[in-house]
Amino acid sequence: MTKPSSSLSESVKDGIVDAVKRTEDAPGAMIEAVSKTVARTVHGVDGVTMSVMDVTSQVADGTIKAVAEVDGDLGQATRGLVVGVVRGARQSGAMNLTTIGRTSESVIRTAARLSGDVGAAAKGLIEGAIQSAREIGLDAAAAGTAAAIGAMKAAGQIGSVAGERVRHSLVHAIARVDVVLNEPLYPYKSSRIPTA
């Protein structure tokens, strides 16, 4: 995994913090602030040497740091992060379900590294995947599945405690949509993330 670039990570963090403060904690402010900042950042890599996934790793780092700074809701932030990645990747022509799955992996790893709540992060990832899929006409269940598999893959690599927290959150988050996993929500072994 690419080591987060401090300048991009800090830029994302500062952008989100400023946006949240300007909205005075209005409902949905975190989701909107993160999604707009992330979409701008991801779309901005078109034609640059960094891949969307490299940028996503750095954006996740900045987003989670911003949540800590403003004492925000990590679930809302990760929901906004996925929405932003999907919007930005679509504008750059790099959007597919693999992007959603890998974004989920990156976010869970970053949340664990920064001592974030991986359960809340996982719930937000599923909700963001479903929301963004509906926005751009992708199958919501397929997007939710990709996010769930990515989150479980990362959690399984981190350890049993993280795996249990993510698993518990996913059970509740996917109850509202027909998400299909190739395996039950037990420690991750191998699953394929579909591509659009």
- For the chain, 196 residues long, the average pLDDT of each consecutive 10-residue run is 64 85 69 80 60 79 88 88 85 77 91 88 92 89 90 88 82 59 44 40
Looking at residue 104, its pLDDT comes to 92
Taking phi first (over 0 means left), then psi (-120 to 50 degrees means alpha), and beta for anything else, what does residue 43 get? Answer: alpha
Q: Delimit the domains of the chain by residue range.
A: 6-176
What are the structure tokens assigned to 69, written together?
Answer: 């700074």
- DSSP letter, residue 143: H
CA 158/CA 154 separation, integer angstroms: 6
Looking at residue 54, its pLDDT comes to 75
Give Cα 142 distance to the centre of its chain.
Answer: 15
Residue 20's contacts (CB-CB under 8 Å, 6 or more residues apart) are 29, 30, 33, 66, 70, 72
Tell me if 90 sits within 8 A of 38, measured CB to CB: no
